[in-house]
């Protein structure tokens, strides 16, 4: 269960996605629009694993992120930014393609051993709301335990025996593959 808090965050997810796209050679220029995202649960409950789907001009991209409560040793070059979160404190935001927790989540999803996380929004008044994510993912092909490859530029999707397919209002793309 992915738990979201009604909180103030700085920088915003839009700003994080824009910074990540700016660092990609194919990331384009101009305004970025967030379409939505999907999450996986870290079995240890320590790391937030989220992939945002974003549009920039004619580019549709997957922005894979991890949110950590402390720096990830040896991953300084994959740190996108730190984020101040009013409910959780400082978060270290990494490119999930280089985070072992995220890679393990994607590997389990491609082996049909892990599903997209259900999402709950926790409000300041203590109430809890189930959220229907704008992006849904499902496994296509034969489950595989092969090497995981994440797609960034969704115009050039990855391929494999197992494919993780994301769907959203008006779109669909392969976002990860193995085998």
At 149-170, the pLDDT tens digits run 999 999 998 999 999 999 999 9
For the segment 76-112, what is each residue's pLDDT rounded down to a tens digit?
899 999 998 767 679 999 999 999 999 999 999 999 9
pLDDT value for 1: 45
Estimate to the nearest angstrom the gap between the alpha carbon of 75 and the chain centroid: 17
What ranges do the domains of the chain cover?
2-178
Residue 91 preceded by cis peptide, ω within 30: no
- Token pair 């409560």 is found at 69
CB 136 within 8 A of CB 116: yes
C-alpha dist (Å) from residue 115 to 32, 77, 95, 97 = 28, 29, 21, 18
- The Cα 113–Cα 109 span in angstroms is 6
CB 26 within 8 A of CB 100: no
At a CB cut-off of 8 Å and minimum separation 6, what does 127 contact? none
Residue 9 preceded by cis peptide, ω within 30: no
pTM: 0.91
CB 139 within 8 A of CB 85: no
Helix, strand, coil percent values for the chain (each to nearest 5) = 15, 45, 40
- Token pair 């809890």 is found at 128
> Which pLDDT band, with edges at 50, 70 and 90, does 6 fall under?
low
- Token pair 């092969």 is found at 146
> Which pLDDT band, with edges at 50, 70 and 90, does 125 fall under?
confident
Mean residue pLDDT of the chain comes to 91
Average pLDDT in the 111-137 region? 86
For the segment 17-42, what is each residue's pLDDT rounded down to a tens digit?
999 999 999 999 999 999 999 999 99
pLDDT value for 157: 82
- The Cα 108–Cα 13 span in angstroms is 25
Better-predicted residue by pLDDT, 107 or 124: 107
């Amino acid at each position: 269960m992915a738990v979201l808090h009604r909180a103030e965050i700085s920088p915003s997810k839009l700003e994080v996605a824009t910074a990540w796209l700016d660092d990609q050679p194919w990331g384009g220029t101009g305004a970025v629009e967030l379409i939505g995202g999907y999450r996986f649960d870290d079995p240890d409950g320590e790391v937030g694993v989220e992939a945002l789907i974003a549009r920039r001009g004619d580019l549709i991209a997957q922005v894979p992120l991890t949110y950590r409560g402390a720096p990830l040793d040896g991953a300084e070059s994959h740190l996108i930014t730190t984020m101040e979160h009013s409910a959780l404190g400082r978060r270290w935001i990494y490119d999930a393609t280089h985070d072992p927790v995220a890679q393990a989540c994607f590997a389990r999803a491609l082996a049909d051993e892990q599903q997209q996380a259900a999402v709950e929004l926790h409000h300041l008044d203590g109430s809890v709301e189930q959220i229907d994510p704008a992006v849904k993912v499902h496994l296509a092909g034969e489950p595989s335990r092969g090497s995981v490859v994440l797609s960034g530029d969704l115009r050039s999707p990855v391929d494999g025996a197992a494919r993780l397919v994301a769907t959203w209002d008006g779109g669909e793309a392969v976002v990860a593959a193995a085998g």
